[in-house]
């Protein structure tokens, strides 16, 4: 279907491609995978959607037929197309997307909320996979937009969230969402969510875990993890690598929470918006902004 885009969020993978640290399949290339828009035209075989409807795009097109997909683990699909990374992205006035990965949303929801649906789904999938329960506590390392959405989801879930982040503006925003600055002597936490992807941060977080603690790794880098298997085994640490989300359950749950109006506004993590003609400024600002940066395509 053809979608007129209203807004696209920027995330770390977009910045990596823009800076040349990650190579796109070809140049020129269209970035962006956190997008919302309005349906303009539909294919003849599409049902359940209509022109003029507000939608968000689930930007990981799994094959739906391989063994992981059939088992409900679509994040492990070997044929998955990653929008903005392996197929052209959503930072465009118009895009074409397969109907199976286009989700209708309630009318009049702010675009600042809707551009956060995809990264919020990444956060909620990590929380689901961790098994953390209300009343427990955790450490979130990194309060970029992904870490902020993690803090928001965990606090909403009834978890006591401690956060570690060197950027003071991001740390303040995390605290405004209900997290608490990690005290220097606070160790023995049962859960770690590593969202920064910065070298050395996961190792520091692991040192703060309790015996039989669980570490959920979301941020990525290419450096080897500096921790011994002896330490992991002796302390009985569970390591979980949480890659995006699984179709359709995780996206559906995020949208139900958003439209229930009982969940905090996802847009509370947004700090800066830019017009399309100012997209270079948006990319320059995104690496240090206090919250999520997005491009207004309306």
Confirm if 63 and 77 have CB atoms less than 8 A apart: yes
pLDDT at 189: 97
Counting Cα atoms < 13 Å in the Cβ hemisphere of 77 gives 22
pLDDT at 230: 97
The CA distances from residue 252 to 56, 101, 118, 204, in Å, are 11, 11, 11, 34
CA distance 185 to 114: 38
pLDDT at 107: 87
pLDDT at 264: 76
**Domains in the chain, CATH or no CATH each:** 2-119+245-296 (3.90.180.10), 120-241 (3.40.50.720)
pLDDT beneath 70: ranges in the chain: 262
Confirm if 161 and 151 have CB atoms less than 8 A apart: yes
Confirm if 19 and 129 have CB atoms less than 8 A apart: no
| pTM for the predicted model, two decimal places | 0.96
pLDDT at 56: 98
CA distance 203 to 40: 48
Question: 154: which 2 tokens?
Answer: 């965990």
């Amino acid at each position: 279907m053809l979608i007129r885009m209203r807004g696209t969020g920027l995330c770390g993978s977009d910045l990596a491609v823009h800076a040349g640290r990650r190579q796109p399949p070809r140049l020129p290339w269209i970035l962006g995978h956190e997008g919302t828009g309005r349906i303009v035209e539909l294919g003849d075989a599409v049902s359940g959607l209509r022109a003029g409807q507000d939608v968000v795009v689930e930007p990981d097109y799994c094959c739906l037929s391989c063994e992981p997909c059939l088992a409900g683990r679509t994040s492990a699909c070997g044929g998955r197309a990653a929008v903005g990374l392996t197929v052209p992205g959503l930072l465009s006035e118009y895009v074409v997307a397969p109907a199976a990965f286009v989700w209708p949303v309630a009318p009049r929801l702010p675009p600042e909320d809707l551009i956060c649906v995809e990264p919020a789904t990444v956060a909620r999938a990590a929380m689901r996979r961790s098994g953390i329960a209300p009343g427990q506590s955790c450490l979130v390392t990194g309060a970029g937009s992904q870490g902020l959405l993690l803090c928001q989801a965990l606090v909403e879930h009834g978890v006591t969230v401690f956060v570690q982040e060197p950027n003071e503006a991001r740390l303040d925003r995390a605290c405004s969402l209900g997290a608490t600055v990690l005290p220097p002597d606070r160790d023995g936490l049962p859960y770690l969510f590593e969202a920064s992807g910065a070298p050395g941060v996961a190792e520091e977080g692991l040192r703060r875990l309790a015996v039989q603690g669980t570490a959920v790794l979301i941020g990525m880098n290419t450096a080897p993890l500096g921790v011994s298997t002896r330490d992991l085994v002796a302390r009985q640490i569970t390591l979980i690598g949480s890659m995006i989300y699984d179709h359709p359950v995780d996206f559906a749950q995020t949208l139900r929470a958003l439209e229930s109006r009982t969940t905090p506004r996802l847009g509370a993590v947004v700090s800066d918006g830019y017009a399309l003609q100012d997209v270079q400024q948006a990319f320059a600002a995104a690496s240090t902004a206090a919250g999520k940066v997005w491009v207004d395509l309306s």
